[in-house]
Structure 1
Amino acid sequence: MKPALYPCLWFDGKAQEAAELYVSLFRNSSIKSSNPMVSYFELDGNPFMALNGGPEYQPNASISFYVTLEDPEELENIWNELMVEGEAFIPLGSYDWSEVYGWVQDRYGVTWQLSLGKVAEVRQSIVPLFMFCGDQQGKAEEAISFYRDVFNGTEEVFIARYEPGQVKLEASVVHARFKLNDQLFMVMDSAVPQPFTFNEGISMVISCDTQEEIDHYWNHFTEKGQEGVCGWCKDPFGVSWQVIPSMLGQLMSNPEKAPRVGAAFMKMKKMEIETLVNA
């Protein structure tokens, strides 16, 4: 079985509040579990984690969520709710690529691209979209190659490139889709300068069953990336990943064992399953 892969959203004390808003907007959505530190939830069957990490980081538009909706009324209702204390990056309207489309940053800093279309054609209703900009401008195609090497069996679904002379910045990929561990991703090179780039505000979690899996991802990401603590690291493009054991939640749910497990992983960079189990 391939390790589970899902996004983590960083909040300053409002993780559960944000999760409750999101599950109220999307069909087939619910909060799976929640505590003062994290909330796990699903949006139309797509898993997410919301983390109360403090004020140090905030999400930005370098990673957004591309949402395909088939009902224009539903799309407009979601747009209106996300716009409460939010900001439109691209106003809701009709564009060449979608009859109805808009890009909005919500009140928590998370950005959403809402598009009218057929989910079956996209193959997933909510998709993380990486925009290569700032100091990572123009590196989307290089990143696709890197991720295909890291995630064995990656499936490339679609790639479209800018026409020669279409943009003045270093940019090749206008839109690409590919699968990593059965999770669909989208990437693009920004067509205009952006004042931000990837940070810990939105990270990707890889939930691994074995130490071999943890070692594989950690070593690939950090070889030319950066080690963090508690299973966090950055890949060569600055995208943050949490490489964690799938059993961590079970270990932390044991009231007697949890304090020892917590003390153990707080001392770690790369997670070591044997050390956690024996804590």
Structure 2
Amino acid sequence: MKVIPHLWFEKDMESALRIYTSLIPGSKIESLKALPAETPSGPAGSVKIANFTLGNQQYRGLEAGPLDAFNHSFSIIVECDTQAEIDELWAALGEDGTIEQCGWLKDRWGLSWQILPRRLGELINDQDAAKAQRVTEAMLTMVKLDIAALEAAARG
């Protein structure tokens, strides 16, 4: 068995995938094609399917007009090692999207992302409960996450 997340785009899937794969190492579009036959979602050529990889995780995509909009029930987490990585993803994915709290944003296609420092998980799961609480409280006040501020909160 294999588990592959599937994303339904209303429109402009190719642009989304080009941006996603350009930003995240270990990513590529493996295939992208229009279906040659009419489907319940539209005439021949109007529905597109894609196979792509983001950060070595396989995905499938479908562009077939409106159905259910993306929402917070599904998000893609990207763990970053540096603040520069966070800043780059935040700027690119947040452009024409919706910026949210605690490292969350919605891109211009409505897909939710969590742009997190890898270090956050280590700090929040620290055996020192007071340290973990300080880090959590600091994170809850942030929009884009700041590694230096999280480290400062950990130190007290």
TM-score w.r.t. the length of structure 2 is 0.85
Q: Which of 11, 14, 18 in structure 2 is aligned with 1:141?
A: 14
1:221 counterpart = 2:98: no
Q: What code does the residue aligned with 2:50 have?
A: A
Matched with 2:31 is 158
Q: What code does the residue aligned with 1:179 have?
A: T
- Unaligned 5+ residue runs, structure 1? 1-68, 70-124
Matched with 1:112 is none
Matched with 2:79 is 207
Q: What code does the residue aligned with 2:32 have?
A: I
Task: Give the paired residue count.
Answer: 149
SS for the counterpart of 1:127 is: coil
Matched with 1:128 is 5
Within a 5 Å distance, the mapping from 1:25-40 to structure 2 comes to none
Q: What code does the residue aligned with 2:112 have?
A: S
SS for the counterpart of 1:241 is: strand
Is the contact made by 1:140 and 1:172 (CA closer than 8 Å) also made in structure 2? no
1:244 counterpart = 2:116: yes
- Unaligned 5+ residue runs, structure 2? none
* Shift in Å, 1:180: 1.5
Q: What code does the residue aligned with 1:266 have?
A: L
TM-score w.r.t. the length of structure 1 is 0.49
Q: CA RMSD in A?
A: 2.2
| Cα distance in 1 between the residues matched to 2:44 and 2:71 | 22
Counterparts in 2 of 1:143 and 1:170: CA distance versus 1, 3 Å: farther
Q: Which of 58, 73, 88 in structure 2 is aligned with 1:184?
A: 58
SS for the counterpart of 1:256 is: helix
1:218-246 Cα offsets, whole Å, 9 max, x none, are 11111111110000001110000001111
Q: What code does the residue aligned with 1:209 have?
A: D
Matched with 2:46 is 171
Identical positions, percent: 32
Q: What code does the residue aligned with 2:132 have?
A: A
1:78-112 Cα offsets, whole Å, 9 max, x none, are xxxxxxxxxxxxxxxxxxxxxxxxxxxxxxxxxxx
Which of the pair is proportionally richer in strand? Answer: 1
SS for the counterpart of 2:130 is: coil
Is the contact made by 2:75 and 2:111 (CA closer than 8 Å) also made in structure 1? yes
* Shift in Å, 1:163: 2.1
Is the contact made by 1:176 and 1:186 (CA closer than 8 Å) also made in structure 2? yes
Is the contact made by 2:102 and 2:141 (CA closer than 8 Å) also made in structure 1? yes
